[in-house]
Amino acid sequence: KAGVTQTPRYLIKTRGQQVTLSCSPISGHRSVSWYQQTPGQGLQFLFEYFSETQRNKGNFPGRFSGRQFSNSRSEMNVSTLELGDSALYLCASSLQGPSYEQYFGPGTRLTVT
């Protein structure tokens, strides 16, 4: 079974730009969660989608948004990038939700200059 894939793996953007990250979950998994990981803050929950519906959202500004498609693939978008948005963005898929076994992708390393 193919694992969780994330594209792109690396990205360099400048302040003020916007970015879209993509996540393809394991086949059959309907839940996708997004996380931001930084050395100072650790793993921070962004949002979780299940069957195209956002079920929960973390404490991030409205510049961070996401969506899920009917095939369970998910995207997250960050608008008006700030230097502090530099981080590893991880997505995780599971059958029913984060409480169940989660499988993480390798992440997208975003650098904002």
Beta bridge partners of 111: 12
- For tokens 């498609």, name the residue: 69
Instruction: Count the Cβ atoms, other than its own, within 10 Å of residue 91.
Output: 29
> What is the amino acid identity at position 75?
E
Least distance from other proteins to the Cβ atom of residue 106, Å: 5
Q: 3-class DSSP state for residue 55?
A: strand
Least distance from other proteins to the Cβ atom of residue 81, Å: 22
Would you tell me which residues interact with other proteins (CB under 8 A)? 4, 31, 42-45, 48, 50, 55-56, 58, 90, 92, 97-99, 101-107
Least distance from other proteins to the Cβ atom of residue 8, Å: 14
Beta bridge partners of 73: none
Least distance from other proteins to the Cβ atom of residue 21, Å: 13
**Residues 14 and 113: beta-carbon distance below 8 Å:** yes
Residue placing its CB nearer to other proteins in the complex, 11 or 79: 11
Residue placing its CB nearer to other proteins in the complex, 13 or 104: 104
Residue placing its CB nearer to other proteins in the complex, 90 or 110: 90
Quick one: DSSP state of residue 31?
Answer: E
> What is the amino acid identity at position 88?
L
Residue placing its CB nearer to other proteins in the complex, 51 or 80: 51
